[in-house]
Amino acid sequence: MPIGEPRAVASSGKRGSLLDDQVWRWATFAPALLFMLGLSVLPLVNLVATSFHQVSWVGASAVWQPVGTAHYEALPNDPLFRAGLLNTVIFAVSAVGGQMVLGFALALLCSRIRGGRIFYRTIFILPILIPGIVIGAIWKLMLNFDFGLVNKIVSLFGLMPHDWLGSPATALFSVIIVDIWHWTPFCFLLFLAGLESLPQDVYEAAQIDGANRWQELRYVTVPLMVPTIVVTFAFRLVLAFKVFDEVYLLTGGGPGTSTEVISFTLYQRFFTEDRVGYGSAMGVAVIFLVSLLLVVALNTRRKREGMA
Amino acid sequence: MRRMHLSRLMGHAVLVIAALVVLFPVVWVVAAGFRTPISLLMGEFAFSPVLMNFAEVLFSKTSDFLLNYRNSLLVGITSTALCLLIGTTAAWSLYRMRWHPWVLHSFLGWTIIFHMIPPIALAGAWYTMARSVGLDNTFTGLILAHTTLNLPMAIWLMGVFVRDVPQELIEAARIDGASTPVLLGRIVVPIIRPGLAATGVLTFVFSWNEFAVALNLTMKQTATVPVAIAKFAQDYEIQYTQMAASAALSIVPALVLLVIGQRFIVSGLTKGAIK
């Protein structure tokens, strides 16, 4: 996520252009500001306000009943909320970890060969462009107990077919594998672009110093790739925490609470059960946890930079 | 020399296998769209393709898929146009005009926090707000929501391209007396056209794919393609072959964009991360 310093436009010598700049500076920024204020800040304020109320609908108008912090107090005792948080962390860490390692290995391979890069890149873009819900549909077919391809392959090896999505032991694991399938190509693309932009002279120097392949990777490639790795990791982790579509289609949070992720819990409490007040409190709690994560991440980075 | 050759061959072998693993499930599902339900259940590898699933999905009286398709196109194109317009002007203002660092950092900081929030948490608030002003189950509501969701990415990406516009060109235009709209329209937009293409393609795809918000802000008449596909999977008796057919139809726009705009997609996905 690029945040750069602004490069100020040098004002020309013309009279009146300073005023012109003032006007257009605001005019070009105002729409975006209005959008973010009206559709992200205001809804958030609304969400916080709702979280202290019991809301019921009478036609198009909502009836608000203040309940204080009751919703927040109920949160820690909500088994679905706890399962959702835990599963989201397990899901995000293992899925993103798997994608990063696989994507890096494949990108490394691809950067070392000359031909066919465009071919591989084109194929690897495909999963990124497919709707999450279709990814779910694809794997619902692939993992189907009766006629899914995965069970066919399993029985080729003489093993018993398994209900991958239907048994609590393998449901979350299966969803993680699907996510790794979905996003490894994305990591691959970012890593490949990063590898391609590395300076070549460092490698020549390493070769002159007699570094072998492994040393080259360990002491040249990986350190140079750290910025790309960090950005990819952060980007993927954020998306993994928001996972909803695949879970909605593949398992619906089940069996039991084995694939309950936090976005799905929110959906169930707010929309399915129509508990607007309680759902809002949960939403606020999730947003708070997410911002906390960001603050901690930024702080550790600042501390590291301060030490270096 | 021989060893080099061998390792290169090994590399290709691994990458081809990976490509097959990526490609095969997609092909498998598209193929399932051409099967009869019985053929799918029997699991035979060889089958004679039929068009009944596509006919059913597209033209049956009980199916709204064509309507869903139109809705998705409408929402996708409109929100993409809005994102490009608002995102580009905002990127211009933030990165090339003089703002107090405080304004810049708090705005961009907020877009990052906003980007981290699960959309489903906001969908609730959006729903409550839309409902109280009568915008629930309308295209306007969903278009505004999708524009807001994709605006941060549009601003970051366009920011990368806007910062690359040579300062000399801008100053030259200023000296010639170009006002800001003329400067943007005549000088800046032609230069950042690749950026607009990359951002446009990604924004459209993200809107086309978006499910969680569309699920909750739409009804039968305004439902988008992902919402329709999810319905197939939720029926008591899942219509697997029809689900496969509609899934196949839903990835057509992405395939078209992939064929005509591969380099834009790659530059869009990677530029923001590398720079």
Query: Pick from A304, A95, A301, A102: which is nearest to A190 by CA?
Result: A102
- A160 φ, ψ (degrees, to nearest 5): -75, 140
Chain centroid to CA A155:
34
Greatest distance between any 2 Cα atoms in chain B: 75
Query: Pick from A279, A278, A288: which is nearest to A69 by CA?
Result: A278
Mutate to test the interface with A, among B8, B16, B22 (most CBs of A within 10 A): B22
- pLDDT at site B227: 93
**Residues A193, B274: Cα–Cα separation, whole Å:** 8
**Residues B191, B188: Cα–Cα separation, whole Å:** 5
Neighboring chain B residues of A151 at a CB cutoff of 8 Å: none
Contact residues, A window 178-237, toward B, CB-based 8 Å cutoff? 181, 185-186, 189-190, 193-194, 197, 228, 231-232, 235
Domain at B62-274, CATH homologous superfamily: MetI-like (1.10.3720.10)
* CB spacing of A1 vs B156 below 8 angstroms: yes
* CB spacing of B251 vs A294 below 8 angstroms: no
Query: Pick from A144, A249, A90, A300: which is nearest to B229 by CA?
Result: A249
- By CA distance, what is B181's nearest residue in A? A24
- pLDDT at site B273: 59
Query: Pick from A231, A187, A96, A122: which is nearest to B275 by CA?
Result: A231
- B40 φ, ψ (degrees, to nearest 5): -65, -45
What would the pLDDT profile of B188-199 be if each residue is shown by its tens digit?
A: 999 999 899 989
**Residues A87, A62: Cα–Cα separation, whole Å:** 33
Greatest distance between any 2 Cα atoms in chain A: 84
* CB spacing of B272 vs A2 below 8 angstroms: yes
Q: Which amino acid is at A190?
A: L
CB distance from B158 to chain A under 8 Å? Answer: no
- ipTM (interface pTM): 0.88
- pLDDT at site B87: 95
**Residues A236, A183: Cα–Cα separation, whole Å:** 8
Cα atoms in the Cβ-side hemisphere of radius 13 Å centred on B158: 30
- pLDDT at site B6: 77
Q: Are strands A53-58 and A61-66 parallel, antiparallel or unpaired?
A: antiparallel
**Residues B218, A109: Cα–Cα separation, whole Å:** 45
Q: Which domains does chain A have, with CATH numbers?
A: 87-260 (1.10.3720.10)
Query: Pick from B165, B172, B167, B171: which is nearest to B190 by CA?
Result: B165
**Residues B168, B14: Cα–Cα separation, whole Å:** 48
- pLDDT at site A60: 64
pTM: 0.88
Here the tokens at position A191 are 């890593």
Query: Pick from B95, B119, B87: which is nearest to B215 by CA?
Result: B119
What Rg value do the Cα atoms of chain A yield, rounded? 25
Q: What is the pLDDT along chain A (308 residues), one digit of tens a residue?
A: 444 444 444 444 444 566 677 888 888 899 999 999 999 999 999 899 989 988 887 766 778 888 888 899 988 999 999 999 999 999 999 999 999 999 999 999 888 887 788 888 888 988 989 999 999 989 988 998 888 888 888 888 888 888 898 888 899 999 999 999 999 999 999 999 899 888 888 888 888 888 888 888 888 899 999 988 988 898 898 889 999 999 999 998 878 888 999 999 999 999 888 888 899 999 999 989 888 887 887 777 777 766 54
Chain centroid to CA A279:
22
Q: Indicate the DSSP class of residue A253.
A: T
**Residues A103, A181: Cα–Cα separation, whole Å:** 10
- Which conformational region is residue B43 in: left (phi greater than 0), alpha (psi within -120 to 50 degrees), or beta? left
Q: Which amino acid is at A283?
A: G
Pairs across A and B, CB distance < 8 A: 343
* CB spacing of B114 vs A40 below 8 angstroms: yes
**Residues A277, A274: Cα–Cα separation, whole Å:** 9
**Residues B213, B225: Cα–Cα separation, whole Å:** 13
Distance from CA of A16 to the nearest CA of B (A): 11
Beta bridge partners of A55: A64
- pLDDT at site A10: 45
**Residues B49, B39: Cα–Cα separation, whole Å:** 10
- Contact (Cβ atoms closer than 8 angstroms) between residue B272 and residue A1: yes
- Contact (Cβ atoms closer than 8 angstroms) between residue B154 and residue B211: no
* CB spacing of A125 vs B99 below 8 angstroms: no
Contact residues, A window 57-116, toward B, CB-based 8 Å cutoff? 57, 60-62, 106, 109-110, 112-113, 116
What would the pLDDT profile of A228-260 be if each residue is shown by its tens digit?
A: 898 889 889 888 999 999 999 999 887 888 899
- By CA distance, what is B163's nearest residue in A? A7
Q: How many CB atoms lie within 10 A of CB A57?
A: 13
- pLDDT at site A306: 62
- Contact (Cβ atoms closer than 8 angstroms) between residue B225 and residue B208: yes
- Contact (Cβ atoms closer than 8 angstroms) between residue A164 and residue A143: yes
Give the DSSP H or E segment for A64.
strand A61-66
Nearest to A112 among B11, B163, B212 (CB): B11
Cα atoms in the Cβ-side hemisphere of radius 13 Å centred on A205: 7
Q: What is the DSSP string of B225-236?
A: HHHHHHHHHHSS
Neighboring chain A residues of B65 at a CB cutoff of 8 Å: none
- pLDDT at site A307: 57
Is residue B273 classed as helix, strand or coil in its secondary structure?
A: helix
Domain boundaries, chain B: 62-274
**Residues B274, B260: Cα–Cα separation, whole Å:** 24
H-type alpha helices, chain A: 17-36, 42-51, 70-74, 79-112, 117-129, 132-142, 149-156, 171-196, 201-208, 213-216, 222-241, 245-250, 262-267, 276-307
Q: Which residues of chain B have pLDDT under 70?
A: 1-4, 272-275
